[in-house]
Amino acid sequence: MTEELAAAEHDTELLRLRRRTLTDVCFEWMSRGDRVTVAVGGTHFEGRLIAVVNDLAIVGTKTIEVGVNLGAVDFARSNDRAAYTGTSGERSVSSFRALLGRFEIERMPARLVGRHRSFDQTGVIEASSDDHVLIRDDQGLEWALPRGGIAYVIGPS
């Protein structure tokens, strides 16, 4: 009977692990306070997860906060369990698109980097739509960047 119970518990835990999304895994790490590495857009960011919601993860490194498009992540890794105080996360934005919209509304300069570094552009977001972001650089050039191709965004330092 004990062996059957242990096997059932093992199967239940395995099923739980298989049903989780990348968002679920990152949320668990954030809740626990893990020190993580997230690889996206040809760059590795190490620090703590400040927010994880839908397709957005915000990674706080020693020097910056990075808004990561979870759909563009190359890998995520938990380096050190409970290295920080766990949190339920910051909830002022609900998605990667909402974060881009915040930059648009607040007219803050943003650095947008594409998957595989296909672009690395800094400017002010003029419009954030369903499928693209219009950004104007410091030379006045207007760029249309496909939203799904944006790996991460960094705001002003």
- Average pLDDT, integer, range 38-56: 97
CATH number of 2-80: 2.30.30.100
Give pTM, 2 decimals: 0.89
CA 18 to chain centre: 21
Secondary structure (3-state) at 5: helix
- Is the pLDDT at 8 greater than 80, yes or no? no
Q: Give the tens place of pLDDT for each residue, 108-142.
A: 999 999 998 999 999 999 999 999 999 999 999 99
- Average pLDDT, integer, range 37-63: 97
What is the helix (H) or strand (E) element at residue 47, kind and residue range?
strand 43-53
Classify strands 142-146 and 73-80 as parallel, antiparallel or unpaired. unpaired
Q: Which tokens in the block code for residue 13?
A: 């835990």
Topology annotation, domain 96-154: SH3 type barrels. (2.30.30)
Q: Give the tens place of pLDDT for each residue, 84-116.
A: 999 999 889 999 999 999 999 999 999 999 998
Predicted local distance difference test score (pLDDT) of residue 51: 97
Report the distance separating Cα 26 and Cα 7, nearest Å: 27
Q: What is the dihedral of CA 82, 88, 50, 48, to 10 degrees?
A: 10
For the chain, give every domain's residue range: 2-80, 96-154
